[in-house]
Structures are given as C-alpha cells and as structure tokens.
Structure 1
Amino acid sequence: MKTKTIITLPLIVLLFSALTAFREPAAAPVDHGAYDQLLRKHVDAKGLVDYKGFKKDEKAFNQYLDMLSKNPPTASWPKNEQMAYWINAYNAYTIRLILDHYPLKSIKDIGSSIKIPFVTTPWAKKFIKIGNETISLDNIEHGTLRKKFDDPRIHFALVCASISCPRLRNEAFTADKLDKQLDDQGSDFLNNASKNKIGKDAAQLSKYFDWYKGDWNDNGQSVVKWVNKYANTKISPSTKISFLDYNWNLNEQ
C-alpha cells in the first residue's frame, strides 16, 4: 500500500524560505564617482579630452571599467539608473578604445587596423565585457539605449571622440540629475555654432539630425520641434535645412 506525502502550508513556507535563502541579493546600481573624478580632471569645459592624462590615470580608469563589467544593470534598477550606466559605459569605453590606439588623429583611423572579418568600424568591434557578454559600442547605442529607452536625447550625450560630436561632459551622468544633464547637453549642442548654424530662414544642422531622423520624428515630434526645444534661434517648417559636414578629428585638448 502506497503512502501519500501530505505537504502542509507550514512545510511549503519552510521550503520556500530555504530556497530563497540561497538567492543572491539584487545588484545595487553602481557608483560613477571614480569616473566623475577622472572626467573633471581630464576633460575641459569645451568637452576636449586630455588623453595623455587619462593614460597616466589608466589604473584608476581601468578599475572603473572593471566595476562596470562586473555589475551590469538589472531589471530592478530604476530607468534613469540604467540609462546613466549605459551612457557612461559608452563614453568611457570610447575613451578606452582611443587609449588602446593612441596616438591617432581620428577614431575612424582605427577601422583600418581591425583585423576581424566583417568588422570594419571601431563601433562594431566587440571589446566591451559586460557581465557574461562581450559587446560593441553599436550594441550599447542601437541595441540597448535606442531600442529600450526611446529617448532621442541620448544623441546629445553619446560622444564618438570627434570634434563634431556633442560635448563630453566633465562629469558623469547620474540617475538623480539625468534629465537635467540631457537637457543641458541638448542646449549646449544646438547652440554651439561649430555643430549647428541656425538662422530663422536657413539652418545648417548636425548630421545627427539626418542620420537619426526616425528618432527625431517619433511620438509626434519632428526635427523642427527638437531644434526649437533647445536652440535660442527658432526655426519653422519653412526654414531651409541642410546638414554640415562632419568633423571626425579627435576631440583632444
């Protein structure tokens, strides 16, 4: 005769407690303070970078990157924590990429030195270890930030180490200040005459507004609306818009 095993409610609670006791606690959002200090030390008010200075502080810089690598964002992190992490990671690993090939005149020069089949740009090179994955700058920008967060202001924050890029902030992005920082980046970018030349009748805009036109037109927005959100000089749908040539020279002091 078979005996039945009766699982009582107290036993279920005990089993559940035993199982959950072995779970690792959810990872807390990371502290970007070390990166903030490096940016304040080696990036000027114009966003130009002292790459030689970063080289001298390479140990501290690598420790920050290692911390990012070992602490990928989880779904439990607030949205702004996740965004700040990925924006900082993109910009920091871009600096790391430049240091790996320094000295050079342009990030685009790195493309010819990559000996990986079907990889011809530095943005496609998978050299970034985040958790158990090895990813590229393209993966961060297009696969995570643009895809997951749907906020075109990231284009004002991601810096490709070039003169025509937005200014690299000399502070880290943080969750508590993220909205203000992104708006500040938008204002700085649109009112910088070397990146956008805006007049009421004609505007020469950054290539960003051409390359990512789909992003700017999402959710009932438009290039005109985004420009007017931040630019001191306002434009209209009748304003003649063209796009400036992109300066890929290194954003070096």
Structure 2
Amino acid sequence: MIFPATLHAAPKSDLWPIWNQSNDANAATFDHQKWQQLLDTYIVVNGQHTLFNYKAVTPTDKALLDQYIIDLTALDPRNYNKAEQFAYWVNLYNALTVQLILDEYPVKSITKLGGFLSFGPWDDDITKIAGQTLTLNDIEHRILRPIWNDERIHYAVNCASLGCPNLAQTAFTGKNSNALLNDAAIQFTNSDKGAKIDENTLTLSSIYEWYGVDFGDNEQAILRAIDTYRDGQKLEGWTGKIKYDYDWKLNQP
C-alpha cells in the first residue's frame, strides 16, 4: 500500500488490463463469511482505532483465514460483476495483510516484513489468481485504483498500522461497498490520524501527500475532498502550516 518515506513518489495508478474485465450479467456472489467471522472475533475498537488482536488468534482461526484466501484465489473474479469484484479485491487485500502479520507474529510493524532492504512486503509476490502472480501493490495500484477511480479506496485497504484508515468491521460485499466506503471516509477524515488541527498547524495523514493526485490537483482541492466527509471544522481555505504524519506501529491492542 505504502512506499518508503525516503522515496519521492508513491506507486502510480497503472492499469493491469487483463483484470479490467467482468461479467455484469452474472448475479453470483463471493462468500466472505469466513472473513466476517474473523472480523467479529478479533477486531477491538479503541477510540479512533479498530485494532486486530493478532496475539489472540487461535490455530483454528488462522487455518480459517488461510482457507478463506485459498477459496477466494481459486476463483477468477473476472467471471463476476464489477460490484462483486470490488468487494473481492478489498477483502482479499485486507485478509492477505492480516495473514502476513500472523505468519511473522510477533512483529512491531509491517514495515519490518518483506525482502532484504525492502520497506514492507507490498512488492513481494503474495498470491496467484487465474495463473497470474500478484503483489499487494498490484491489487491496489494496478487493479483497484485504475479500474474504479475512487479516492475512497485509500480508506478501505488496510496496512495493519495505527496510522492507516481502520480495518472495516464488516466484510465488503457487492451490495454494501458504497456504504462501507462512505463510513470509512467519515471515520478517517474525522479522526486525528486523518486530520488534526493544533493552533496554526494542520497535520494530515501522509496518505494525502503520497496519493494526493487521487484527491485533487492541488492542496486546496485535497482539503476540499477531505471536507466532504468531515463533521467538524472545515479545512478548505486553511492558510496555516500543513505537515504530514503517519504511525507505522502495528494496529494491535
């Protein structure tokens, strides 16, 4: 999902064309019940955060997660309609991220995972679908972002970090995705980790710096996009200092 803080550019939205296919006449749905069972069992709400209790995951539930991923990746999402596909990719991304943490737990941060000298596991081959090997970055930046062109995607994919938008407590489905995206956007933009005002300084999530192009073509446009979901003080027109921050600590209780 993210890129090293030392780099000057985040991954761009770059369509992988083979995934931009669908069967919109197909009314079949994916089964996300295993994922929902895990969310119900291990998500802990603590203030502005939803945390995942990795330490408490039993071997049986780890096997359930592994089976859920096996079940999803055995299917070709292109045979389904676009709404089902969106839920498929978001849930798979989040489930794979949880699996990565559990496979290496205990770990203080997802940034400690990945290959030699890498900043996290986002460019590591992580799964195979329809004969194609994919990374987490493939799912977010070559499938989700370019196909759906929806900035709320950044509020839905979770990187197992405190600074990240919350892991949704409800599994995405073809029917509830829009509502969940709106809920995620509202939660994040109204949280301190999304936007925090302290006297003359506005601290924004680094997501708005890394992926600003998805939110607007200039700083005020980005603030306007954030304001769309904010209940409190509006940010557009801000003339004070703006800085960016992100907390990479693991999202655990």
- Shared fold (TM-score, shorter chain, > 0.5): yes
1:156 deviates by 0.5
CA gap of 1:133–1:53, structure 2 versus 1, over 3 A, is: farther
Q: Does structure 1 residue 63 correspond to structure 2 residue 79?
A: no
CA gap of 1:174–1:27, structure 2 versus 1, over 3 A, is: closer
Unaligned 5+ residue runs, structure 1? 1-25
Partner of residue 13, structure 1: none
1:82-130 deviation digits (Å, cap 9, x = unpaired) = 111111111100011111211110011113xx25xx9654100002122
Give distance in 1, aligned partners of 2:197 and 2:84: 34
Higher normalized strand content (fraction of residues) = 2
Q: Secondary structure at the match of 2:191?
A: coil
Paired-residue identity, %: 37
Larger radius of gyration: 1
1:187-221 deviation digits (Å, cap 9, x = unpaired) = 10011124420479652110011100111116xx9
Q: TM-score, normalised by structure 1?
A: 0.80
1:225 deviates by 1.8
1:145-224 equivalence runs, <5 A: 145-198=144-197, 202-217=201-216, 222-224=221-223
In 2, are the aligned partners of 1:152 and 1:216 still within 8 Å (CA)? yes
CA gap of 1:141–1:55, structure 2 versus 1, over 3 A, is: farther
Give distance in 1, aligned partners of 2:198 and 2:128: 44
1:72 deviates by 2.7
In 1, are the aligned partners of 2:73 and 2:128 still within 8 Å (CA)? yes
Partner of residue 237, structure 2: 237
Q: TM-score, normalised by structure 2?
A: 0.80
1:217-244 deviation digits (Å, cap 9, x = unpaired) = 16xx921221111112212234435233
Q: Secondary structure at the match of 2:188?
A: helix
Give distance in 1, aligned partners of 2:58 and 2:96: 14
1:59-88 deviation digits (Å, cap 9, x = unpaired) = 1111100111111311x5332211111111
Unaligned 5+ residue runs, structure 2? 1-25
How many aligned positions are there? Answer: 222
